[in-house]
Structure 1
Amino acid sequence: MLNFIGKGSAFNTKLGNNSCYIRKNDSMLLIDAGGTVFHKLQELNLFNGLKSLHIVITHTHPDHCGSLGEVIFYPYYYNQIKPTVYFPDKELMKSYFKAIGVKDEMCSLISDMNLTIDDICLGKIKLGFIKVPHVETIPAFGFIMETDNKKIYYSGDANNIPGDVLALLKDGNLDMMYQDTCGIDYDKNAHLSINKLKDMIPNELRSKVYCMHQDGYLDPEMVIKLGFNLV
């Protein structure tokens, strides 16, 4: 469903910054644009032939937003298209655009909590943003995405899973969950440890959960043994 071009936490750079995309024909939906993402998009030739680009941002930490400028500038100048950025905090993103030199004519910004992307190639994609606990300094958002008759939860960076999302999973109303998961576990961690994740998700539902944003302490063999997936 989602194609990951990076799956690492901020300091686990060997796995690349956590980011993924859906591409159909000439259109692409990109989730997050950390510092390593623009290079990877070029390496994979994902700008080639692109006529429509939608960018969903979960929060403004550098490993999720660090190359957003390039990801906007390149298609604007080389593909002659105006990307659309989706982020709930309008004023924060406008300030970020101003700081990095993104002009109003270079991209569109949509800040609704609930919206529908209607793209000629991607079809209709419903997005519902959810504020999630991460750090105190900036807002962070996960979202529920509905596309191709699938309902997906994507956590962004979060140290917990919202109760409403867990209820959807347990009631059989979520097809997949992409969850920020780390190996290190300590008080006031900004990310969700595998120890906490296993306590929250029943065994019979773990095959629907995909662990992403992996730190250097996460043991892949343990993740699989517990019944979860790795992106």
Structure 2
Amino acid sequence: MLNFIGVGSTFNTRLGNNSAFIKKDSSLILIDCGGTVFHRLQELNLLQGIKNLYFIITHTHPDHIGSLGDTIFYSNYILKHKPIVYFPDKDFLGGILDGLGVEEKMYYINDSKKIIIDVREFGKVEIEFIKTTHSNKLPSFGFIMSINGETFYYSGDSNDIENKIIDKLKRGEIQKVYQDTSGLNYEGNGHLYINKLIEIIPKEFRNKVYCMHLDGHVSEEEIKNSGFNVVKIFKN
């Protein structure tokens, strides 16, 4: 369902900033927009012909919104379109964009925690934001999305998975989990250590978990040997 522009953490620049998208015809849903993302959008020609642009933002660290301003500018000046940004704290994100010189008239922020995107290309898309444990300095969210008969959970950056997400996975109410995964284990780590992921996901459900936001300290082989999947970078 999701295609990934990048799958790396902040310092794992080789894999690009973690960001995913869903595109159909002239509509594009973009999940996070870190510093490397606008460049990759241009390289992959993903913005050409876009008339409906939607951003889902999980939190405001630079590797998740570093080129959000550039992409909003491009949408206004080149695509002639005012994009919609979904983020549950309008004032927080709006203040950051204002500091970057991105005028409020260039975008619209929807700060509802439960959202429906209803456009012809995608049909009805339902999104529910869920607060995550990542940073005590800024609001951070994951979300559950239902689209085209499939429901998945996307963690954003988080060092845990809520029990209700795991319960939904076990009951088949969620078909996939896209999870921020780290090879580092230290106090205050805002990302989910691979061994903790192994502890909280039973073996029979690990094939439904897709590891992303890789920090370079955990290998693809280690992830797959533990029964999980690794997301792949989209190539046009």
Structure 2 letter corresponding to 1:132: T
Kept in 2: contact 1:7–1:15 (CA 8 A)? yes
Deviation at 1:188, TM superposition (A): 2.2
- After superposing on structure 2, the runs of 4+ consecutive aligned residues of structure 1 that deviate more than 6 Å are none
CA contact (8 A) 2:130 2:143 kept: yes
Which amino acid in the other structure matches residue 28 of structure 2? M
Map of 1:191 onto structure 2? 191
The aligned runs of 1:97-116 (5 Å cut-off) are: 97-116=97-116
Q: Name 2:166's counterpart in structure 1.
A: 166
Find the aligned partners of 1:118 and 1:4 in 2 and give their Cα distance.
Answer: 23
Query: Per-residue deviation at 1:189?
Result: 1.2
Q: Percent identity?
A: 51
Summarize deviations over 1:115-156 as a string: whole Å, max 9, x none. Answer: 101112122110000000001111100000000101100000
Work out the CA distance in 1 between the residues paired with 2:31 and 2:112: 16
Give yes or no for the alignment of 1:219 onto 2:223: no
One-letter amino acid of the structure 2 residue matched with residue 209 of structure 1: V
Contact 1:28 1:122 survives alignment (8 Å): no
Query: Which has the higher relative contact order, 1 or 2, with Cα contacts under 8 A spaced 6 or more apart?
Result: 2
Q: Report the secondary structure of 2:146's partner residue.
A: strand
User: Displacement, 1:176?
Assistant: 0.4
- 2:91 maps to which residue? 91
The code of the aligned residue for 2:210 comes to Y
Q: CA RMSD in A?
A: 0.7
Gaps of 5+ in 1: none
In the TM superposition, what is the alpha-carbon distance from 1:94 to its structure 2 partner? 1.3
Match of 1:127 in 2: 127
Please give the TM-score of this superposition, normalised by the length of structure 2. 0.96
Aligned residues: 231
Secondary structure in 2 aligned to 1:105? helix
Could you say what secondary structure the match of 1:79 adopts? coil
Which residue of structure 1 aligns with residue 203 of structure 2? 203
AA in 2 matched with 1:46: L
Question: Structure 2 matches for 1:25-36, cutoff 5 A?
Answer: 25-36=25-36
Aligned equivalent of 2:234: none
> Are 1:178 and 2:178 an aligned pair?
yes
Secondary structure, counterpart of 2:78 in structure 1 = helix
- After TM superposition, the score normalised by the length of structure 1 is 0.98
For 2:26, give the aligned amino acid.
Answer: D
Match of 1:7 in 2: 7
Please give the alpha-carbon distance, in whole angstroms, between the structure 2 residues aligned to 1:78 and 1:26.
Answer: 14
Q: Secondary structure at the match of 2:109?
A: strand
Q: Is the 8 A contact 1:156 1:180 kept in 2?
A: yes
Q: Which amino acid aligns with 2:34?
A: G
1:156 matched residue in structure 2:
156
Deviation per CA, 1:90-136: give whole Å up to 9, x if none.
11011012111121221111000001011121221100000000011
Q: Which runs of 5+ in 2 are unaligned?
A: 232-236
- Tell me the distance in 2 between the aligned counterparts of 1:125 and 1:59: 21
1:207: how far off?
0.6
Distance, in Å, in 1 between the alignment partners of 2:172 and 2:23 is 27
User: Could you tell me whether the CA contact under 8 Å between 1:156 and 1:179 is conserved in 2?
Assistant: yes
